Amino acid sequence: MDWQGQKLAEKLMQIFLVAFAVVAFVVGYALGSFQAMLLIYAGGVLLTALVTVPNWPAFNRHQLSWLDQSEVDRHPRPQAAASQSSKKKTTKQK
Amino acid sequence: MHSSVLRFNALVTFAVAILALICALASFSDYFNNPSPTADVKVLSINWFHKQPNGNEEVRITLNISADLRSLFTWNTKQVFGFVAAEYETPQNALNQVSLWDIIIPSKEDAKFLVQITNKYRFIDQGSNLRSKEFNLTLHWHVMPKVGKMWADKIVMTGYRLPDRYR
């Protein structure tokens, strides 16, 4: 999963679980059935797991574009500097 | 969220925490229930009243027990345990309680009942204290919830008396 996908999956998980918990409690209380509350919530947990845990394509829409290997070869890694004061610079290449 | 396993772990943890929350809310909802149970116990007869060789006295008694404990039940009630006890005072003890009969009520429908029984458990006093004894018959109930703490209450019925001679 890419970063955006991970964020989406986590948000979906939280919203689904809380929503199912609320629905389960309200329906259980209205029906006077503790078992109904537990069954609805269990169903909700399973559904949420099905939606957010596997690596669905929908969570892979914002791929990171890693650097091409040919481009990497053209820019060799800088050597470790002899002086202690040199700072590490990261350069972005398009 | 680096892998499916990690996501699954996070989901399970959050789901269990929320489950604990809704169970606590369900337990809390019991406070909005104001129960109004009723009960009545009649002594139909004293079957016999003996003195045992070891000095103890025993009573066999037939009771008519009627009760309506339906209002004790909520959606969070697992079962109600009820029992009838004879309570009396002796020179040695301020309170003697002898359980005569009990019942496990698993659901609201079973909570209204009328039974005619002889005492399920033996009514024995240590010593010779029961002749002419005034006693109370108390219906106790223990409500066991699905989630939460058990609580108990009772109805005390007074005015019963044992015979003054063995028979």
Residue B96 lies in a domain: yes
Domain residues for B11? Answer: 1-32
DSSP secondary structure code for residue A43 in this structure:
H
Query: Are B74 and B109 in the same domain?
Result: yes
Query: Are B56 and B126 in the same domain?
Result: yes
User: What average pLDDT does range B68-90 have in this prediction?
Assistant: 95
Size of chain A in residues:
94
Query: Are B3 and B39 in the same domain?
Result: no
Query: Are B145 and B122 in the same domain?
Result: yes
Query: Are B132 and B82 in the same domain?
Result: yes
Residue B166 lies in a domain: no
Query: Are B9 and B87 in the same domain?
Result: no
Helix/strand/coil for B50: strand
Query: Are B104 and B60 in the same domain?
Result: yes
Backbone torsions φ then ψ of A68, nearest 5 degrees: -60, 145
Cβ of B19: how many Cβ atoms within 10 Å?
18
Residue B144 lies in a domain: yes
Distances (CA, A) of B155 to B23, B109, B139, B149: 30, 21, 5, 21
Tell me: pLDDT of A90 over 70.
no
Query: Are B17 and B80 in the same domain?
Result: no
CATH number for the domain harbouring residue B134: 2.60.40
Q: Dump pLDDT digits (tens) for A13-51.
A: 999 999 999 999 999 999 999 999 999 999 999 999 999
Query: Are B44 and B120 in the same domain?
Result: yes
Query: Are B154 and B84 in the same domain?
Result: yes
Query: Are B104 and B58 in the same domain?
Result: yes
pTM listed for this prediction: 0.80
Q: Dump pLDDT digits (tens) for B26-53.
A: 999 999 999 999 999 999 999 999 999 9
Q: How confident is residue A93, by pLDDT bands cut at 50, 70 and 90? A: low
Structure-block tokens of residue A61: 């829409």
Q: How close B140 gets to chain A, by Cα (Å)?
A: 25
Query: Are B123 and B45 in the same domain?
Result: yes
Residue B61 lies in a domain: yes
Q: A56 — contact with chain B (CB < 8 Å)?
A: no
Residue A82's pLDDT is 64
Q: B44 — contact with chain A (CB < 8 Å)?
A: no
Q: B10 — contact with chain A (CB < 8 Å)?
A: yes
* Contact across the interface for B26 and A34, Cβ inside 8 Å: yes
* Contact across the interface for B11 and A13, Cβ inside 8 Å: yes
Residue B88 lies in a domain: yes
Report residue B163 CA to chain centroid gap: 27
